[in-house]
Amino acid sequence: MLNLERLRTLDALARHGSVSGAADGLHVTTSAVSQQMSKLEREVGQQLLARNGRGVRLTDAGRLLADHAARILSQVELAQSDLEAQRGQVVGELRLAAFPTAARGLFPAVLGALRAEHPGLRVNSRELEPEHGVAGLVRGDIDLAVVLDWYNKPLPVPEGLVKATLLDDPADVAMPEGHPLADRDTVDLEDFADDEWISWPEGEFCHEWLVYTLRAKGIEPRIAHLAGEHHTQLALVAAGLGVCVAPRLGRDPMPAGVRAVPVRHRVHRYVHAVWREDADRRPSIRAAVEALRRAGRAVA
């Protein structure tokens, strides 16, 4: 009899392409992945992994069994969803992810509510940028992700995922309090054509949005500093090193020396919950979405 957890390990290896990637996806150590694969090879009596430079690759037998593992795990997940729906109880394990400001602005209230209202539910959470959250859903590493669209640039969402809007999150331009525009009631992005910008890291969805939006307004942005954490961006603004777009969700407390001014032609992002369509009947998914909606209404 093939062991389900070892098949899960093989599936993670096939999806992530490396032992370290599989370990991260499964939240275990690399040695645990190697041990599970050694046991699985003994069970099937065939070599499933082969050395490939410093890494490993699946053998023909490994790829064959990985294809079967993906189908088996999909059926197991569907069976679990059906059983949970049939019982109508919010129980089991739920894996959540959110981009950092949503994790800070929504998760404390959401996780606290789920623990109080559904003591039989075990919730794990992690921070993931929107594009990584979507990829984690597709791979089956997480059950529900909080992601975002910018008003003028939607995040691509593959077929087979369900999306529910949680809130509309306005964004301001944050600048040093000594900036010539700091006393304005509103500003335009074009007003900062000659300023240095502080942005998210290159390759991230929000960085691509900022460059796309400024170029659409005829501005070739001078991006001087990159920081993934919003509070780091604001600290750089406070030091007089540039300006940044600062969404309001999860932003407080603002550091001293920073002024956030609304944009006259409103800049905002939509925050969504996304999950797999085959998990739509799970009471735990529905409970999490409802808790996220309540938290969204509270901070909107």
CA–CA dist 166, 265 (Å, integer):
22
Average pLDDT (278-282) is 83
Q: What is the mean pLDDT of the chain?
A: 91
Average pLDDT (51-68) is 84
Lowest-pLDDT range of 38-42, 70-74, 103-107, 194-198: 70-74
pLDDT at 85: 61
Q: Which two tokens stand for residue 54?
A: 């410093």
Residue 205 banded pLDDT, cuts 50, 70, 90: very high
Helices 4-16, 19-26: inter-axial angle, 10-degree rounding: 120
Query: 124-164 pLDDT, tens per residue?
Result: 999 999 999 998 898 888 999 999 999 999 998 888 899 99
* CA 150 to chain centroid: 15
Q: Buried b vs exposed e over 213-226: b needs ≥16 C-beta within 10 Å?
A: bbeeeebebebebb
pTM for the full predicted model: 0.76
Cβ–Cβ under 8 Å, residues 282 and 84: yes
pLDDT at 84 over 70: no
**Portions of the chain given CATH number 3.40.190.10:** 90-167+271-299, 168-267
Q: Buried b vs exposed e over 157-186: b needs ≥16 C-beta within 10 Å?
A: beeebbeeebbebbbbbbbbeebebbebee
Q: Identify the CATH number of the domain defined by range 168-267.
A: 3.40.190.10
Q: Identify the CATH number of the domain defined by range 90-167+271-299.
A: 3.40.190.10
pLDDT at 171: 97
Query: 217-235 pLDDT, tens per residue?
Result: 999 999 999 999 999 999 9
pLDDT at 57 over 70: yes
The dihedral region occupied by 89, where left means phi > 0, alpha psi between -120 and 50, and beta the remainder, is beta
Average pLDDT (168-181) is 97
Closest CA to 21 of 132, 155, 158, 147: 132
Average pLDDT (77-106) is 83
**Portions of the chain given CATH number 1.10.10.10:** 4-85
Q: Does domain 4-85 have CATH number 1.10.10.10?
A: yes
Closest CA to 4 of 94, 75, 100: 75
CA–CA dist 257, 251 (Å, integer):
15
